[in-house]
Chain A
Amino acid sequence: DAKTTQPTSMDCAEGRAANLPCNHSTISGNEYVYWYRQIHSQGPQYIIHGLKNNETNEMASLIITEDRKSSTLILPHATLRDTAVYYCIVKMAAAGNKLTFGGGTRVLVKP
């Protein structure tokens, strides 16, 4: 699986959009970009995934660059409950492919 690079931490203001970057310059053509988050004392939670098109669901939007070497997770209106560690993971979308977690980005939403 391709390796990802994320900032260690970032702050954002409540009610504003939070833009979380991720670099994955060695991603291969059949690998997807997944995002999970982990709120304190809970297990990781799936957010969204994509291959090359931008994706949106009820939680977030995922913007993938045309060359697929980087992506951005957007939380449109951050709330205090979005404070968590966010993990960007690259893997094939197939049953049985394990998740390889890096250090993630620690996001603190401030009032």
Chain B
Amino acid sequence: EAGVAQSPRYKIIEKRQSVAFWCNPISGHATLYWYQQILGQGPKLLIQFQNNGVVDDSQLPKDRFSAERLKGVDSTLKIQPAKLEDSAVYLCASSSYRDRGYEQYFGPGTRLTVT
């Protein structure tokens, strides 16, 4: 079974530029999550989708971050404009109600550096 795919793996941009990340979850997983992980900290949830609907985006800085999950499969996370403090690893995860513990499966992440 293929895991969660993310691209790109690394991205360097200047502040005020825009950037987009892509995630392809495990096939059949209805729930998709985007986390932000700042160096030295644990991941923090930004947004959660159930199929193509948003379940929780309470910690998403909506003035600059946006996310969508068209057709309930792939998802993109966008930052526009980027700030220095957005430098972090952006992790995508997915889960399925078929797994007893609803455990989340994470992709390798995209490391963003804003200069």
- A residues contacting B by CB (< 8 A) are 32, 34, 41-46, 49, 87, 93-104
B43 touches A99 (CB 8 A): yes
Report chain A residues within 8 Å CB of B105: 46
Extra pairs beyond A42-B108, A44-B104, A104-B42 (6, CB < 8 Å): A43-B91, A44-B106, A95-B31, A96-B48, A96-B55, A98-B45
Given known contacts A43-B106, A49-B103, A95-B95, is B31 in contact with A101 (CB within 8 Å)?
Answer: no
Residues in B whose Cβ lies below 8 Å from that of A87 = 42
Cross-chain contact B106 with A45 (CB below 8 angstroms): yes
Q: Do A34 and B41 form a contact, CB below 8 Å, given A42-B108, A45-B106, A96-B55?
A: no
Partner of A32, one of B45, B55, B56, B101: B101
Q: Can you name the residue of chain A whose Cβ is closest to the Cβ of B91?
A: A43
B48 near A103 with CB under 8 A, answer: no
- Asked if A93 and B102 make an inter-chain contact with CB atoms under 8 angstroms apart, the answer reads yes
* Chain B residue total in the interface (Cβ 8 A): 27
- Within the complex, the shortest CB–CB distance from B56 to chain A, in Å, comes to 6
Q: Are A96 and B50 in contact (CB under 8 A)?
A: yes
List chain A residues, Cβ under 8 A from B109: 42-43
Complex CA–CA separation, A24 to B73 (angstroms): 35
B96 to A, closest residue via Cβ? A95
A-chain residues with CB within 8 Å of residue B107 when the two chains form the complex: 43
> Which B residue's beta carbon lies closest to that of A51?
B101
List chain B residues, Cβ under 8 A from A99.
Answer: 43, 45, 104
- List, sorted by A's number, 9 A–B pairs whose CB atoms are closer than 8 Å: A34-B101, A42-B106, A44-B93, A46-B103, A46-B104, A87-B42, A96-B50, A99-B104, A103-B41
B21 at the interface (CB under 8 A from A): no
Q: Please, which residues of chain B bring their CB within 8 A of the CB of A101?
A: 41-44
Q: How far is the CB of A16 from chain B (nearest CB, A)?
A: 26
Closest CB of chain A to B49's CB: distance in Å? 10
CA distance A93 to B96 in the complex (A): 12
Closest partner residue, chain B, to A104 (CB atom): B42
Q: With a CB–CB cut-off of 8 A, which chain A residues contact B13? A: none
Given contacts A43-B107, A44-B106, contact A95 B42 (CB under 8 A): no
